Amino acid sequence: MSDITDKRTILIVDDTPDNIAVISGVLKSSYKTKVATNGEKALALASAPDGKPDMILLDIMMPGMDGYEVCTRLKANPETADIPVIFLTAKTEVDDEAKGFEVGAVDYIHKPFTPPLVRARVRTHLALKRAMEEAHEARQQADELLNTLLPKAAANEIRAIGTVIPKRHENVAVLFCDVANFTSYCDKHEPEDVIARLDALFVRFEGIVNKHGLEKIKTIGDAFMAAANLLNKSDEPLVSAVRCGLEMASAMMDAQLGWAVRCGVHLGPVIAGVVGQERYQFDIWGDTVNVAARMCGKSQPGTLAVSEETWNMISSRFEGVPLGELEVKGKGMISVFEIRSEKK
């Protein structure tokens, strides 16, 4: 038999001492019991700071506040609404039982009491309560995992309708960044050291992304992708993305981890959606994504690169220099600019 501190607590509410004695005698070997002889005391014990009961056995016919009113008040209070209530009553009319279920009771035990029936009803509804608690915990864990895997808006859409409807989004600023010389670093260091450093870097990136109002999309090896004005709207997505990229590059240099980050940004339309069934992955596609990745590849360690088209949109806000005409996969020769800092 489990220690008494592990037992579930049953609150017995009845104004008749003999009834309390009978019920307590039936339950005391398996449960902790508390007793209230009126509705006011029952409500106080149900929300007591030293621990609310796991179940309430509630008499209907009591002087002053009857069981129906007690149950109604219990269900109206968020602190006690989830406590299952079983009515104890001599009433056997259908209308009486219907009223009890309407105010929130889960079951009836009719007087006179039979010990096997009392034990069975209590055991059944405690098991149901535990199952509901476990289901709630599982839902919370699933929600936490969903929020880890997906942007908040996408996670909310999956919870609401079971999927994320693919959409085209205009004026999205895509930010790509990766670690220069990452491959050579991996060849010279232990896996544990590589993963620990990369994890620390990405955690720092996530904080910077949140600070500037972007959304992390995914990581790909040593690369990190985020976007502005996708699911969370932004008044100045391009400016926000460039600021974010510049802080990422400078933060990495300041951290003195022996790595340097390079970034690329591009503005335009993207298609966004979720792929996979066993493992959800939110992703974005389109030429905007490809150009941002290509710009990242053209930037120097510790800097951020953009196309001339993008540079013309923000040249009044940032300091930059032309890198000249560069060969960009899938785009041919295009003018690339290096952004170094924001103008004061």
The CATH number given to whatever domain includes residue 34 is 3.40.50.2300
pTM for the whole structure: 0.62
Among 59-63, 105-109, 141-145, 267-271, name the one with the lowest average pLDDT.
141-145
Band the pLDDT of 257: cuts 50, 70, 90: low
Residue 4 confidence (pLDDT) = 43
Task: Over range 291-305, report the average pLDDT.
Answer: 90
Shared-domain flag, residues 111 and 169? no
Task: Over range 207-220, report the average pLDDT.
Answer: 92
Shared-domain flag, residues 182 and 262? yes
Shared-domain flag, residues 159 and 268? yes
Residues recorded for the chain: 344
Residue 194 confidence (pLDDT) = 85
Which structural domain range is residue 226 located in? 153-342
Residue 113 confidence (pLDDT) = 82
CA separation for the pair 216, 207 (Å, rounded): 10
Shared-domain flag, residues 191 and 67? no
Predicted confidence (pLDDT) per residue in 51-108, tens digit: 889 999 999 989 889 999 999 999 999 999 999 999 988 776 778 778 888 999 999 8
Domain count, the chain: 2
Shared-domain flag, residues 116 and 245? no
Residue 316 has pLDDT above 60, yes or no: yes
Task: Over range 12-25, report the average pLDDT.
Answer: 91
Task: Over range 153-157, report the average pLDDT.
Answer: 79
Predicted confidence (pLDDT) per residue in 161-188, tens digit: 777 788 899 999 999 998 887 877 788 8
Shared-domain flag, residues 203 and 246? yes
CB atoms within 10 A of CB 93: 8
Q: Which of 112, 147, 182 is the last residue of a domain?
A: 147
Shared-domain flag, residues 225 and 88? no
Shared-domain flag, residues 52 and 8? yes
Q: Which of 127, 147, 167 is the last residue of a domain?
A: 147
Shared-domain flag, residues 160 and 142? no
